[in-house]
Structure 1
Amino acid sequence: MSWCTSWPIFGSSTIPPASGLSLRKPCPITRRRSGRSRRVARATTVFRRKSMKILHTMIRVGDLDKSIAFYTDVLGMKLLRRKDYPDGKYTLAFVGYGEESEGAVIELTFNWGVSNYDLGTGYGHIAIQVDDIRKTCGAVAAKGGKVAYGPALHGGATWIAFVEDPDGYKIEFVER
């Protein structure tokens, strides 16, 4: 019997530590799949579909107009849509570099009456590809934005920088 050397869901030999699974399992090709392995195979197929894509990421903001100004005026995004939801007492605004049908965008959620949020330790950052990192950071600073780190060479090959939006969310620039 052969043994698997990779984990099909993650495409590598790394299994998440919390999974409790071992790489020393017979390959599904050499034996009849159990109910669980059939479900894993179906899940893997579903998540490889070309129709799936990231649509948006949502962040909560304390001042919607200030946040829209930062993402549009400082980072050069477009305000794609904005709508009030009086029954829920919140407003949503979507910003991005292209239309929502073309790529992922950022959803800015403003809950009426909430002026700030604790960012916590779970949030990391949003990454944006840029052509010229020094020029981009200079433009952000010139428009009153905060460059929190860099530009700096990361790993000897990639130039990165971090800026912060009005609520303190980190945005990474990666030069490509």
Structure 2
Amino acid sequence: MALRRALHFVFKVGDRAKTATFYRDVLGMKVLRHEEFEEGCKATCNGPYDGKWSKTMVGFGPEDDHFVAELTYNYGVGEYKLGNDFLGITLQSSQAVSNAKRLGWPLTEVGEALYLTQAPGGYLFYLVDKEPPSTDPVQKVCLAVSNLQTSINYWTTLLGMKVMAKNEETKSVIIGFADTQCKLELCEVSGTIDHGTAFGRIAFSCPRDQLPDLEALMKKENQKIITPLVSLDTPGKATVEVVILADPDGHEICFVGDESFRQLSMVDSKGNYLLDKAMAEDKSNEWFAKHNRQKAAA
């Protein structure tokens, strides 16, 4: 399954301006593209919402060879409730640590050359205070699972990932499609996995012709399919096909056809401008303040 690759993790954001500051000025990521949508996504990319929303892709480089973040903003929603499902993203960048200190962004030292910080909304980021590797500073995404062996079976046997490392003491495993890609860390926690309303989604690509087989395998194994194979349109850009799955703990997993996604995900030199323009034109905060109301909490 080396042809499959890790793409991005989806975060729902309630404060787009503060979020942009964190990713651009603290982490040092670039806006790769920004898109506005008038109505909800057929594959619930923006969550279970029908209204206007935006998608901003940010990362240290093109999604062809970097793991990036997808920031989805629903215009009427100001905050989301965190669950215990997402345990953090680890990235290696001494510049990000330096930026955080310079800007007064809260940092907690949690190990040797390792700092913990939070993106707006409470999403955890672990920053390794070392020069970034030549490939991609983003090292791993960590998700909580209720039964490690059940999860390993799902992600390796059904999705084709391989085990890179296992730690019996911490009840965790690191898996991935290739050594050169961002890894997925699964950590067993006690109790059930709560996704809150902030639940994210991890995305991978695979050759387009694998999507029907992947969907058929999940049906055969009686695994949950959130969105059967569907085509998604982005105005003025490539149409992509996706299948959206859920693992045994309900973590959402998007598989997208690689060929068209490489066209869709090309870096847009106007991305930064389009995000700033959208934020400047977004008068939703003023409207709610004027009417003495608060934005909805999801």
TM-score tier, shorter chain, comes to 0.5 to 0.7
**1:166: Cα distance to partner?**
0.3
**2:226 counterpart residue number:** 148
Aligned Cα root-mean-square deviation (Å): 3.0
Bigger relative contact order (CA 8 A; separation at least 6): 2
Q: Does 1:139 align with 2:139?
A: no
Q: Does 1:171 align with 2:253?
A: yes
Post-superposition CA distance 1:24-65 (Å, at most 9, x none): xxxxxxxxxxxx9xx68xxxxxx9984642111000000111
Pairing 1:27-66 to 2, within 5 Å after superposition: 50=134, 52-66=136-150
Distance 1:106 1:11, change over 3 A: closer
**2:167 counterpart residue number:** 83
* Equivalent-residue separation in structure 2 for 1:75 and 1:96 (angstroms): 10
**1:121: Cα distance to partner?**
1.7
Query: Which of 216, 240, 243 is matched with 1:161 structurally?
Result: 243
Query: Which of 75, 95, 104 is matched with 2:175 structurally?
Result: 95
* Equivalent-residue separation in structure 1 for 2:31 and 2:163 (angstroms): 37
Q: Is the 8 A contact 1:127 1:171 kept in 2?
A: yes
**1:17 counterpart residue number:** none
Secondary structure at 1:172's aligned position in 2? strand
TM-score (norm 2): 0.40
Distance 1:55 1:151, change over 3 A: same
In terms of fraction of residues, the more strand-rich structure is 2
Q: Comparing 159-168 with 49-58, which one deviates more in the overlay? A: 49-58
Residue type of the alignment partner of 2:155: Y
* Equivalent-residue separation in structure 2 for 1:83 and 1:138 (angstroms): 33
Query: Which of 178, 191, 195 is matched with 1:119 structurally?
Result: 195
* Equivalent-residue separation in structure 2 for 1:49 and 1:76 (angstroms): 26
* Equivalent-residue separation in structure 1 for 2:154 and 2:144 (angstroms): 14
Moved over 6 A (4+): none
Pairing 1:6-25 to 2, within 5 Å after superposition: 10=30
* Equivalent-residue separation in structure 2 for 1:152 and 1:91 (angstroms): 36
**2:271 counterpart residue number:** none
Post-superposition CA distance 1:61-81 (Å, at most 9, x none): 001110000001110111111
Distance 1:52 1:72, change over 3 A: closer
In structure 2, list runs of 5 or more residues that go unmatched.
Answer: 1-20, 35-98, 104-130, 259-298
Q: Comparing 132-141 with 151-160, which one deviates more in the overlay? A: 132-141
TM-score (norm 1): 0.65
Give aligned-pair identity as a percent: 21
* Equivalent-residue separation in structure 1 for 2:200 and 2:136 (angstroms): 23
Distance 1:52 1:105, change over 3 A: closer
Distance 1:115 1:175, change over 3 A: same
Query: Which of 135, 148, 152 is matched with 1:68 structurally?
Result: 152
* Equivalent-residue separation in structure 1 for 2:168 and 2:212 (angstroms): 37
